[in-house]
Structure 1
């Protein structure tokens, strides 16, 4: 079965089903109109750039904001925002002269989540783990050089992490990103390194060390821990998950502050619980077990 393709500004990364090999990247520039014959729709790429410019928690954006975030010319941005508004993917506020994501965009995202079996089937398991640990349990997938939350379950604790669907975490130094990276093949990781590691030598060396440490820990324990690697006060335990049907790889984390997650609880409770979650999820997805999955996304 064919694997998933992740696109980025320098080409495309293919994650093969069941850990297959990467396909060769095709270089492209979204602003280069000569690439229409290579299988890319430049207009579509530019339209998606506009939609992707809106981040979680952003205020409405004007055309100037979108120009700065996408690097597209003023005339192109104006034409695309007009078209996307007419189709319902953007909503234009005439008083503010700014745009927000429209219901068509929300509907598209919800459809993707609700039709994703990993997101749907894992919800009860994530809820149970959140209640058991008092921490936040999250599921995320790769989007360029960031991990994007696809699902998040929080405990009743007042000090749990308050990240939501669509929240973005860095790939190279967050617990979620490291958990994702350790589950890839060497070729897949090398492709991401070539395209997304920081150019600064010091930062690059720091990120590579974090990854090497995570790989060694995962080989030894079956999970990774990230204590203060992204935010000093945030601790996370994570595992990768690669569906056997060739769907995109993802990662799960159980995270919180130091008062909730310490080395002992990570080793004795959370790490083994995440591994158990993965085993149960694999069983459910392959039809080897039954579970009530009435939770809403």
Structure 2
């Protein structure tokens, strides 16, 4: 039992070291890792050395700073390739982003967050970083609203206390009354829209993806800068496209229920 506890503690400490690199800083000193994890400097140094041997981190010979290595990339690639939603949606999303010149994103729900499985950016919506693996709040995103359709009203309230629904912009929905109203509209028209609710200057339209059990297992969005999205003129076109794409992916996952009806009058 003591050996098991020691082994478990070692694993937990190693994972805590790796999680420090999720902070966004590309390179860290041993002291940075020790401070962030609460571990002693010598313990942090030993763990980093072991993780370096396993290629989970790598050390710059000149600066002595550590950054993530290639092993996490390998694990991430394998995990994505084994995910049925990713396998079904990847090529479709890539082709759509190229055709529209906009961003196309697919995400699943993990707890109170949406988790990006993939994203592709077209020429009108470039990014210098990938969204895959990032998490965003459900209540402030078009994809998140679609994912919330899979929960009951009570489940939504338990998952998202209003105290956790903090505003990102003046447009963010921060009460369940407003969120319930918006989700009813999403359900009625078959797609969600988000305009500057998470970030200024950005907008998207999104639709739910269902599996053979008719459950909402993911969602897909078309996104980009306000000027490129031009929802005043293009919302109906983009909404129809995202609904049809979501239905195509759903069918690939075994969904045999009725496809979402498209409402011609956007809200």
TM-score by length of 2: 0.74
Deviation, 1:101, is 1.3
The count of corresponding residues between Structure 1 and Structure 2 is: 248
The structure whose RCO (Cα within 8 Å, separation 6+) is larger is 1
SS in 2 for 1:260: helix
In structure 1, which of residues 267, 270, 279 is the aligned counterpart of residue 247 of structure 2?
279
Query: Which runs of 5 or more residues in structure 2 are unaligned?
Result: 257-267
Change in CA separation of 1:178 and 1:285 when aligned onto 2, cut-off 3 Å: closer
Aligned CA RMSD, in angstroms, stands at: 3.8
Which of 123, 127, 133 does residue 156 from structure 1 map onto? 123
SS of equivalent residue, structure 1 residue 138 = strand
Larger Rg: 2
Is the partner of 1:237 in helix, strand or coil? strand
Instruction: State the TM-score, normalizing by the size of structure 1.
Output: 0.68
In structure 1, stretches of 5+ residues that fail to align are 1-32, 289-297
Residue of 240, 261, 269 corresponding to 2:229:
261
Contact 2:55 2:71 in 1 (8 A): yes
Which residue does 1:22 correspond to in 2? Answer: none
**Residue 211 (structure 1) aligned with residue 179 (structure 2):** yes
Q: Shift in Å at residue 280 of structure 1?
A: 1.0
1:181, distance to aligned residue in structure 2 (A): 3.0
Q: Structure 2 matches for 1:190-201, cutoff 5 A? A: 190-194=157-161, 197=164
Deviations 1:136-187 (A, max 9, x none): 1011234565544321222233x44555143635314233433333333446
- Deviation at residue 65 of structure 1 after TM alignment: 2.9
CA contact (8 A) 1:90 1:100 kept: yes
**Shift, 1:212, TM fit:** 3.3
1:42: Cα distance to partner? Answer: 4.3
Q: Aligned partners of 1:221 and 1:79: how far apart in 2?
A: 56
* 1:207/1:73 CA distance change after superposition, 3 Å: farther
Q: Higher helix fraction: Structure 1 or Structure 2?
A: 2
